[in-house]
Structure 1
Amino acid sequence: MNYTTLISASQLQAQLGHPDWVIVDCRFSLADSDAGRNAYQFGHIPTARYADLNKDLSSAITDQTGRHPLPDFRVLAKALGAWGISNYSQVVVYDDAAGAFAGRLWWLLRAMGHRNVAVLDGGINYWRQQGLAITTVLPQVKPCVFRPYLDTSTWLDARAVENGLATAKLCLIDARTPERYRGEQEPIDPVAGHIPGALNRPFQWNLAQDGRFLPADVLRGQFTALLGKFAPEAVAHNCGSGVTACHNILAMEVAGLLGSKLYAGSWSEWIRDGNRGVARG
């Protein structure tokens, strides 16, 4: 069986040690960029490798980009191979933030043509709550070759977002908290507010109290009501920097609403150009 959206703790536990499965720890903190790697070293799911959001899953910031520009996909492909991920691997990604960071690698792999990748539902927190194995032993990795088949239609740039909103052909969904969306708080970026015309769906709303995703039928009902007349393929997601927006893409895929896209630069790129609109409230 192939897993392409979510995998449960019990399903992953049953496959630990499978030679064709690769687990990647994606823990990260925007407040402390070393916290994720430190947490990995103090204890991780057996055989897991570590992927750093800044170093592995993003490229260098420039004057025109957001805070987490898309990576150089050739460089990322080499990293995937170095982690032992081939085009035939079943990949499982996790974090300690209910998928907020792991969703980025889930989305990147799909954009590179790799469908057999799933987010661990509930992450390492739920894994620990179930009393499942944690280790400090670093995995023995057999490097291989990963060949990317990049699908550039899976993301939009700022111009495509502007044009889509101007012609009412695009539904843009902002994954940030309501306070950040409304411009009442902005702890990270220099400008508060949201892209004019964007709707708000905080990624936290995809989750139950235990940190696992809501049932597919519940997610489907919620997103269908939000989208209104728009088909899933006409939807794009943004957040602060193109990371947690992937959580909403994942939630829509879980719900069977397939084909939504990522505005990769997101809010932190949008505000680089003072001619672009800013909405508040």
Structure 2
Amino acid sequence: MYTTLISAADLAPHIDSPNWAVIDCRHDLANPDAGHAGYAIGHISHALFAHVDSDLSGARQDADGTFRGRHPLPDREAFIETLRGWGINDDTQVVAYDAHGGMFAARLWWMLRWMGHQKVAVLDGGLAAWQAGGFPMSTEAPIRERGAINDRDPLVETVSAAEVLENIAIGERSVIDARAPDRFRGENETIDPVGGHIPGAKNRFFKDNLQADGRFKEPEQLKADFAMLAVEPKAAIMQCGSGVTACHNLLALEVAGMPGAALYPGSWSEWSSDPSRPVQTGAA
């Protein structure tokens, strides 16, 4: 059972196994059609495609019109139906990959754990590692029998904007922001119209979890990196722009043997939409 990372060499013998499901999560925040276009040109043989905006996210507004962020979590029942449509059962080994260091694949990894599914891993090194190994690619979309996965107790924790706001006053938990440093400091208005970060937050850019070849750092190195932030996982909240790349830090913590941190799904896009919520700019 693979629950965090899997290498291309370990995945290769299983790509056509009926009880394995490989999901391509490629995406471009600036061009939502780019991921599927790349999938159509070529993908890991037998892989299905997941769109971050439609498959891995829900409606941006509640029934009362409240903005939930750019990539809020979908309704649990709707997501279960998506997983069943991909042929996933309770005992299926799922492998997610992308071509972006795992920033989108980690979202699917986390969401399956949110549904109580433990057998899910991210392809270490992504599509580049697969191609470097000379493993088979395809342009055909596979047809899988409908799965019967069940919604079980979550293996992960989430927090709401209200809980994050309350924490600013009491300071019991650390908030770790996975965005690029310029966005964290409030210097990129193109992406974040309201710049800055949650008061008291610390910055851990998700790319800092990776080696130069795009694979994750070794567990001991990741553990040392997070120790420099004085992170106690069970008292940590992970966030980013919209709850996607924060999952990369959550995966890195699991790889480091430091489980227990929570995700703030709405993240900065939700937080900054309400002018009554406090904002801090500059370095941490």
Task: Describe the SS at the equivalent of 2:175.
Answer: strand
Q: Which amino acid aligns with 1:158?
A: A
Partners of 2:45 and 2:154 lie apart in 1 by 32
Q: State the partner residue of 1:131.
A: 134
The superposition leaves residues 78-137 of structure 1 with CA deviations (integer Å, 9 ceiling, x where unpaired) of 110010001110000001101101111100000110011000001112211222111112
Structure 1 position 13 matched with structure 2 position 9: no
Task: Describe the SS at the equivalent of 2:162.
Answer: helix
Partners of 2:238 and 2:130 lie apart in 1 by 28
Matches within 5 A, 1:161-200: 161-200=164-203
Shift of 1:14: 2.2
Shift of 1:189: 2.5
Structure 1 position 51 matched with structure 2 position 50: yes
Shift of 1:16: 2.1
Alignment partner of 2:226 out of 220, 223, 227: 223
4+ aligned runs moved over 4 Å, structure 1: none
Q: How many residues align?
A: 278
Q: Which amino acid aligns with 1:134?
A: M
Structure 1 position 86 matched with structure 2 position 89: yes
Instruction: Tell me if the contact between 2:15 and 2:21 (Cα under 8 Å) persists in the aligned partners.
Output: no
Q: Which amino acid aligns with 1:159?
A: A
Q: Which amino acid aligns with 2:265?
A: A
Partners of 1:216 and 1:256 lie apart in 2 by 7
Instruction: Tell me if the contact between 1:59 and 1:70 (Cα under 8 Å) persists in the aligned partners.
Output: yes
Q: State the partner residue of 2:249.
A: 248
Structure 1 position 257 matched with structure 2 position 258: yes
Shift of 1:150: 4.1
Q: State the partner residue of 2:29.
A: 30
Q: State the partner residue of 1:272.
A: 273
Task: Describe the SS at the equivalent of 1:185.
Answer: coil
Q: TM-score, normalised by structure 2?
A: 0.95
Partners of 1:214 and 1:175 lie apart in 2 by 16
Instruction: Tell me if the contact between 2:71 and 2:243 (Cα under 8 Å) persists in the aligned partners.
Output: yes
Q: Which amino acid aligns with 1:3?
A: Y
Instruction: Tell me if the contact between 1:183 and 1:193 (Cα under 8 Å) persists in the aligned partners.
Output: yes
Q: Which amino acid aligns with 1:21?
A: W
Partners of 2:155 and 2:68 lie apart in 1 by 17
Partners of 1:99 and 1:32 lie apart in 2 by 18
Structure 1, unaligned runs of 5 or more: none
Partners of 1:183 and 1:221 lie apart in 2 by 27
Partners of 1:274 and 1:31 lie apart in 2 by 25
Matches within 5 A, 1:105-124: 105-124=108-127
Structure 1 position 160 matched with structure 2 position 159: no
Over the matched positions of the two proteins, sequence identity in percent amounts to 48
Instruction: Tell me if the contact between 1:3 and 1:117 (Cα under 8 Å) persists in the aligned partners.
Output: yes
Shift of 1:140: 2.3
Partners of 2:87 and 2:156 lie apart in 1 by 27
Q: Which amino acid aligns with 2:252?
A: A
Instruction: Tell me if the contact between 2:238 and 2:250 (Cα under 8 Å) persists in the aligned partners.
Output: yes
Partners of 1:10 and 1:152 lie apart in 2 by 28
Shift of 1:152: 8.6
Structure 1 position 202 matched with structure 2 position 205: yes
Q: State the partner residue of 1:42.
A: 41
Q: TM-score, normalised by structure 1?
A: 0.96
Task: Describe the SS at the equivalent of 2:190.
Answer: coil
Instruction: Tell me if the contact between 1:165 and 1:171 (Cα under 8 Å) persists in the aligned partners.
Output: no
The superposition leaves residues 154-206 of structure 1 with CA deviations (integer Å, 9 ceiling, x where unpaired) of 11111111122321111000000111101112322221111111000000000
Instruction: Tell me if the contact between 2:58 and 2:72 (Cα under 8 Å) persists in the aligned partners.
Output: yes
